[in-house]
Amino acid sequence: MRRVQMRTSITTSTQMTAAVDIPPSVYHSGVLIHDRYGFVLTVAAAVGACAAIASLFRAQILPLVRLYLRLIVALVAVQVAIGLVLVATGDRPQQLIHWFYGAATLLTLPLAMSIGKRLGGREEQIWLAGGAVMTLLFALRAIATG
């Protein structure tokens, strides 16, 4: 009978305990916050897109939709700030295109609101709905590129 000798690493119980007791790093918790907040933001953007589309058929809800979409812009700005803090601390997105989708998510709705406000009337509603839908789509893509 032939014996096969295997190399194994023997660790002491103190080494094993030290490896288990290490708290999660700031990197993982910061990225987790950015990811979870991004999901919540995307759900809020979906509600905003639905509300903006509904305002095309019910013009009386337009002031409420405008207010909600301004809130979405503020939420996106907070998400971008979290992402920039992560970058400043050394964390990078998985794909470089994430930068584009993050910027597009931030800029689309304010741009659409600005153009729509200048046009007024029915065109404003169309620009708001389009901007809200595009913000949702960019947010979905930003999540996918992580």
Per-residue model confidence as pLDDT tens digits over 55-93: 999 989 999 999 999 999 999 999 999 999 988 988 888
CB count in 10 Å sphere of residue 97: 13
Q: Which two tokens stand for residue 134?
A: 């595009």
**H helix intervals, the chain:** 13-20, 26-57, 62-88, 97-119, 121-145
CA distance 131 to 112: 5
What burial class does residue 56 get, using C-beta atoms within 10 Å of its C-beta: 0-12 exposed, 13-18 middle, 19+ buried?
Answer: middle
Q: Is the predicted pLDDT of residue 19 greater than 50, yes or no?
A: no
Provide the whole-model pTM: 0.76
CA distance 130 to 125: 9
